[in-house]
Amino acid sequence: MKNAERLADRFAAAVAVHADRSALRIGDRCWDYRELDDELSRLRATLAEVCTDPDRPVAVVVDGTAATFLPMLAVLFSPHPLIPLDAASPQSRVSTILTDTGALLWRTAPGTGADTAPGAESAPGYPRVDCAVLAYTSGSTGTPKAVRQGDELWLHQATELAHELGIVPGSVVAQALPATFGGGLDVTVTSLLAGALLWTLDPRIDGVGDLVAELRGRRPQSLHLSPALLRAVLDTAGAGEALSGIDLVATCGEALDAVEVDRLRALTPEVTFVNRSGSSETGNLAFNSFTPDRELPTGTLPAGRIAAGKHIRVLDEHGTPLPDGAVGAIEVRSPHLARGYLCDGELVDFATHGTGDQGVPTALPVRSHRTGDMGRVVGDRLTLLGRSDDTVKIRGYRVDIGEVTAAARAADGVGDAVVIARESAGRTELVAYVAPPRTARAPAIATVRTAIGRAVPSWMVPTHIVLLPELPRTERGKVDRSALPAPRRRPAYMPPATGTEKLLAPIYADLLGIGTDGIGADDDFVALGGDSLTAVTLLRRVEETFGVSLPPSAPITDPTVRDLAARIDAGAPMSADGVVVHLRGTDDVAASNDPGGSPAHTPIVFAFAGAGESALAFAPLARRLSGYRVIGLHAHGLENLGIPDPTIRRAARRFAGHVRRFCPHGPYRFVGHSLGGVIAMEVARILIDDGEVIEHIVCLDTVLTGPLQRRLPVHLPASTDDTADTATGSDVVDPEQAAAEHCSTWELWRTRVALLTAGWWPRPADAQWSLFHELGRRSALLHRLHPWPGPVTVVLAEDNPDPGEWWDVIAPDHQGVHRISGDHNGILRAPHVDATAEIVTDALTGANV
């Protein structure tokens, strides 16, 4: 049975004192303490009808709504051990938990009764877990474990949290942590036992934008959330207004970098920030409170002051205590720990050391638990240094993965990051997974690698850096390491052989942030994180070093050190008429210059670049289109000497000729990015007039708002946003007028001359792209876009201003309009290109998109 002093008793005392105070707000519904107690009593009576054994665990699946939150509270303040389960939990996990515990699964809204999992009711001899809460750990690094938390842990924790977080009677406590997450249940229990108003928020249901809007409408005294959610809130428009007036912001669950607190202070200077550390096994472990006038450290925040009633020992690998300041394994001793685990139906108790043991003055038995963390203690201050399995040896050096993670998070353009160690071919490698802020463009891999290299020694720089739209997380908000994708393997190291290769490899290493001795002859520029901007610098360095001028597509068509060195030695460009670029795919089916060099059975996809874009922009996409040979096409004169095509129709005729040269007859598959989507449709019209078949066109973020909209022969519904400006030339201001307003007469005439002489002589790549972007924009102003009658799949970036319904008019036979994360150019780059490639592949294969 539970401890003599129970949570239910403490809650009953709170109800008696605060009966008329507001207790709980979920959505638009609010209960005072008397109403809440009445509702929970009614629910407990309903539960008693189907479960007469008070020792039997009861599991409640909680989704953030009142219909599930109230039953969870009813069980919590009852004799039954509570198993809180998040609605995001996979069914297989729920089934395993029910089987292991013999719990009754209470699937109920108020008044609807209860239900059990198949077989659970008849499960013989289910374990007597003797606890208040049976908390399953997140399982972010392995199999989840059931932690048996007694009333004594929760009562002590609630008292301490109320003091540390300023939760007093009448406080409005905004909780944006899942209630099933230990940190969320902490705040829930503390608020309701203290006589405060608990206001639950679940951004997983309504989104971060709605959370910010809710905070603007109501002014809580404190806000409780995860570090990842805090970063997302700080990235959201209106965050400053939403956070102003909040006295205290607290995070838990993961380490936080001081730079995030600095960002918080910039929006609301008077706020107190608290980062709290703990675990399901230990409860509160440490608090680090930063009042507005307290100076912030650099890097990751230390755990802080050790929680009351907790004694922490730092042990060496033999279990011997270490002196203050030494780094070792963390052991916690306290009468307020969990009682132990439930493993395979058996109770496993934590070690007990008697009363008053090891500096913990108490009449209660003292338990101990090794957390699996590394850290150090100086006085009453704790610094956590990552998991014990996060300290690895790389090339003979001991590496603290937490330090590398902090360096990755500090890199420009990185919103969140985690670094892990993986075994590959008998050696340990570091892999950094990074995600951009919600509203920002993803950083280049080379930029991130270089930033890490400036912060840590070379042997600590991750071998692989993987860009993701966001880090996968468990239902408790922690990084789900088991869901992190394996990085793409680099080829076996082959040392540069020729003189050119030996000179070129250090250039790769410098630009991509990789140690000079780590670049081999077969290392790939794109695979290592090179993008179009890095390519510009690479070409400039090549020209300075070798005196050879290569076209912008060269690092894409010949991306390895070996291939680019051979290209340099040949000293001649290889692009067909400066228009066609062969892009290497995942199956290594890229063609040579000879159109007949590609296997006849390999289908070709023609990819049309947008205004001022090189076809090399399609390189990341091409590498993800398995089973296709991708041929990129960009404007005449962009890479070669030649007069640009003045109209989209003229460019389409030129492109149609190139398409026919590679593939005399259809069916044809086209992909067009930005203005390239319009060009793809015009090329298709020409080929259809010649009796050919167009199998499918995929338009990637073709923006209709702006120049293209001006001469449309069909009516489009009014746009709700006519102010967008993207690389397609969606500005609605006449270019001559805009230039005249911001340029001197000399600059205006210089621009006009540059446009008239575009393609006549070579210019630096970035200047050339900018010039051809303007030419493409002007051709869009002259073009009359007629509806396309064939099958089209449309992909829109998140910043595209067009309503998706416009494509019902432009392409009546479209197969779907998909809006994905990433900006106009970002959908062709990691991490968002994976989602783009999936849609393109489905469209080209005829899958349901």
Q: What average pLDDT does the structure give for the chain?
A: 83
Check pLDDT > 70 for residue 671: yes
CB 575 within 8 A of CB 593: no
**Helix ranges (DSSP H) in 244-333:** 258-267
Distance, in Å, from the CA atom of 804 to the CA atom of 799, rounded to the nearest integer, reads 12
CB 568 within 8 A of CB 550: yes
Secondary structure percentages of the chain, helix, strand, coil, to 5: 35, 20, 45
pLDDT (mean) for 608-634: 86
Predicted pLDDT at 773:
83
User: What superfamily does domain 1-150 belong to in CATH?
Assistant: ANL, N-terminal domain (3.40.50.12780)
Residue with tokens 């001991």: 398
Burial class (CB in 10 A: 0-12, 13-18, 19+), 664: exposed
pLDDT (mean) for 481-497: 82
Give tens-digit pLDDT for 289-315.
999 999 999 888 999 999 999 999 999
Predicted pLDDT at 121:
43
pLDDT (mean) for 126-140: 76
Residue with tokens 């013989």: 124
Predicted pLDDT at 398:
65
Predicted pLDDT at 500:
77
pLDDT confidence band for 399 (50 / 70 / 90): confident
Radius of gyration of the chain (CA): 31
Check pLDDT > 50 for residue 657: yes
Predicted pLDDT at 287:
96
pLDDT (mean) for 453-466: 81
Distance, in Å, from the CA atom of 759 to the CA atom of 628, rounded to the nearest integer, reads 31
Predicted pLDDT at 622:
87
The boundaries of every CATH 3.40.50.1820 domain in the chain are: 575-715+724-849
Predicted pLDDT at 352:
85
Lowest-confidence region among 491-505, 546-560, 593-607: 593-607
Distance, in Å, from the CA atom of 685 to the CA atom of 673, rounded to the nearest integer, reads 18
| Three-state secondary-structure class, residue 203 | helix
**Quick one: which of 273, 181, 288, 296 has its CA closest to 223?**
273
pLDDT (mean) for 620-643: 85
- Distance set, CA 526 to CA 187, 488, 534, 825 (Å): 47, 12, 10, 16
DSSP secondary-structure letter at 87?
A: T
pLDDT (mean) for 715-724: 56
Predicted pLDDT at 355:
57
Residues paired with residue 351 on neighbouring β-strands, in sequence order: 368
The boundaries of every CATH 3.30.300.30 domain in the chain are: 395-483
Is residue 633 within a helix (H) or strand (E), and if so which, with residue range? strand 629-633
Check pLDDT > 90 for residue 648: yes
Check pLDDT > 50 for residue 76: yes
Distance, in Å, from the CA atom of 43 to the CA atom of 41, rounded to the nearest integer, reads 5
Give the DSSP letter string of 288-313: EEE-TTSPP-SSBPP-EEEPTT-EEE
Predicted pLDDT at 359:
55
Predicted pLDDT at 799:
86
Give tens-digit pLDDT for 220-244.
999 999 888 898 899 888 899 999 9
pLDDT (mean) for 25-29: 92
pLDDT (mean) for 822-843: 89
Predicted pLDDT at 88:
73
Specify which of 342-356, 448-462, 822-836 reaches the highest per-range mean pLDDT: 822-836
Predicted pLDDT at 802:
92
Give me 414's structure tokens. 């990185």
- Spell out the CATH class of 395-483: alpha beta
pLDDT (mean) for 598-606: 75
DSSP secondary-structure letter at 755?
A: H
| Three-state secondary-structure class, residue 791 | coil
Predicted pLDDT at 203:
85
Check pLDDT > 60 for residue 749: no
Check pLDDT > 60 for residue 505: yes
Q: What's at 620, amino acid-wise?
A: P
Check pLDDT > 60 for residue 589: no
pLDDT confidence band for 776 (50 / 70 / 90): confident
Specify which of 82-91, 165-174, 213-222, 394-403 reaches the highest per-range mean pLDDT: 165-174
pLDDT confidence band for 642 (50 / 70 / 90): confident
Check pLDDT > 50 for residue 731: no
Residue with tokens 């809204």: 109
The boundaries of every CATH 3.40.50.12780 domain in the chain are: 1-150
Check pLDDT > 90 for residue 69: yes
What are the φ and ψ backbone dihedral angles of 567, each rounded to 5 degrees?
Answer: -65, -40
Predicted pLDDT at 751:
65
DSSP secondary-structure letter at 477?
A: S
**Alpha carbon 558 to its chain's center:** 31
**Helix ranges (DSSP H) in 549-612:** 554-557, 561-570
Check pLDDT > 90 for residue 504: no
CB 663 within 8 A of CB 687: no
In sequence order, which residues have a C-beta less than 8 Å from that of residue 24 and are 6 or more positions away? 30, 31, 36, 192, 197, 198, 200
Predicted pLDDT at 58:
94
What torsion do the CA atoms of 183, 202, 73, 472 make, to the nearest 10 degrees? -50
Query: Which fold would CATH assign to domain 317-385?
Result: Luciferase; domain 3 (2.30.38)
Residue with tokens 């290299």: 453
Give me 70's structure tokens. 């109230």
**Alpha carbon 574 to its chain's center:** 39
Predicted pLDDT at 143:
55
Share of the chain above pLDDT 90, in %: 40
Lowest-confidence region among 83-92, 311-320, 373-382, 545-554: 545-554
Distance, in Å, from the CA atom of 321 to the CA atom of 317, rounded to the nearest integer, reads 10
**Quick one: which of 386, 394, 443, 387 has its CA closest to 416?**
443
**Alpha carbon 797 to its chain's center:** 17
Give me 812's structure tokens. 């009546």
CA angle (139 as vertex; 137, 144 as ends), nearest 5: 60
pLDDT confidence band for 379 (50 / 70 / 90): very high
The half-sphere exposure of 522 on its side-chain side, counting CA atoms within 13 A, is 6
Predicted pLDDT at 636:
85
Give the DSSP letter string of 698-749: EEES---TTHHHHT-SS--PPPS------TTT---S-HHHHHHHHS-HHHHH
How many of the other CB atoms lie within 10 Å of CB of 118?
9
**Quick one: which of 372, 366, 329 has its CA closest to 351?**
366
pLDDT (mean) for 763-779: 78
- Distance set, CA 389 to CA 371, 373, 531 (Å): 12, 8, 34
pLDDT (mean) for 73-92: 88
pLDDT (mean) for 491-518: 78
The boundaries of every CATH 2.30.38 domain in the chain are: 317-385
Check pLDDT > 70 for residue 718: no
More reliable by pLDDT, 324 or 1: 324
**Alpha carbon 156 to its chain's center:** 36
Predicted pLDDT at 141:
44
CB 527 within 8 A of CB 561: no
What are the φ and ψ backbone dihedral angles of 549, each rounded to 5 degrees?
Answer: -95, 120
Looking at domain 575-715+724-849, which of 3.40.50.1820, 3.40.50.300, 3.30.56.10, 3.40.50.2300 is its CATH number?
3.40.50.1820
Distance, in Å, from the CA atom of 253 to the CA atom of 700, rounded to the nearest integer, reads 39
Check pLDDT > 90 for residue 585: no
Angle between helices 227-234 and 208-217 (to 10 degrees): 80
What are the φ and ψ backbone dihedral angles of 715, each rounded to 5 degrees?
Answer: -90, 135
pLDDT (mean) for 537-552: 79
In sequence order, which residues have a C-beta less than 8 Å from that of residue 657 and are 6 or more positions away? none
Give tens-digit pLDDT for 333-344.
999 999 998 887
Specify which of 101-115, 687-701, 719-733 reaches the highest per-range mean pLDDT: 687-701
Residues paired with residue 395 on neighbouring β-strands, in sequence order: none
Predicted pLDDT at 337:
93
Specify which of 73-82, 145-154, 465-474, 488-497 reaches the highest per-range mean pLDDT: 73-82
The half-sphere exposure of 478 on its side-chain side, counting CA atoms within 13 A, is 21
Check pLDDT > 70 for residue 354: no
**Quick one: which of 453, 563, 449 has its CA closest to 497?**
563
Predicted pLDDT at 591:
40
Give me 318's structure tokens. 């033999």
In sequence order, which residues have a C-beta less than 8 Å from that of residue 414 and are 6 or more positions away? 408, 434, 435, 436, 443, 448
Lowest-confidence region among 254-258, 390-394, 568-572, 678-682: 390-394
Give me 281's structure tokens. 């096994």
More reliable by pLDDT, 288 or 736: 288
